[in-house]
């Protein structure tokens, strides 16, 4: 059974940092895409960052470029999201997701992902 378990969320003041982790288990994909998405109350779920597990190529939403970094530990099958210079508008529930296929045209489109974690809350105060 495929499982994605996020951790690392919390509350932080603007300008602070958080590191999210997503431990994946129950599957053996080696050429798939893993991503981080977020959803604030009343808003649509949006793609934040994605990484190709095979190549390490990454893709970021414009709103987080130069502030967030996605990475993947192949040995641990864990994906990370390092978030620096956090802003109040980054406040949301953050979800980890995985595809069974290469990133291709999927990257930050949530419709391309078929496995989701339960989410971890990130709250950034002024």
pLDDT, tens digit, 9 for 90 and up, residues 5-20: 999 999 999 999 999 9
pLDDT exceeds 80 at position 28: no
Percent of the chain topping pLDDT 70: 99
Confidence of residue 31 (pLDDT cuts 50, 70, 90): confident
pLDDT, mean over the chain: 95
Confidence of residue 26 (pLDDT cuts 50, 70, 90): confident
90 φ, ψ to 5°? Answer: -85, -5
| Average pLDDT score over residue span 57-67 | 97
> What Cα–Cα distance (Å) separates residue 110 from each residue in 58, 76, 88, 96, 102?
15, 24, 23, 10, 14
pLDDT exceeds 90 at position 106: no
pLDDT exceeds 90 at position 2: no
| Average pLDDT score over residue span 46-68 | 96
| Average pLDDT score over residue span 54-69 | 96
The pLDDT of residue 105 is: 81
């Amino acid at each position: 059974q495929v499982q994605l378990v996020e951790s690392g969320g919390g509350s932080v003041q603007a300008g602070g940092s958080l590191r999210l982790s997503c431990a994946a288990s129950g599957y053996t994909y080696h050429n798939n895409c893993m991503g981080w998405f977020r959803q604030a109350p009343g808003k649509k779920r949006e793609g934040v960052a994605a990484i190709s597990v095979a190549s390490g190529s990454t893709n970021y939403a414009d709103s987080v470029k130069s502030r967030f970094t996605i990475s993947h530990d192949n040995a641990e099958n864990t994906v990370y999201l390092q978030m620096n210079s956090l802003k109040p508008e980054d406040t949301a529930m953050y979800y980890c997701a995985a595809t069974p296929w290469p990133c291709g045209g999927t990257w930050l489109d949530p419709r391309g992902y078929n496995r989701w974690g339960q989410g971890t809350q990130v709250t950034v105060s002024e």
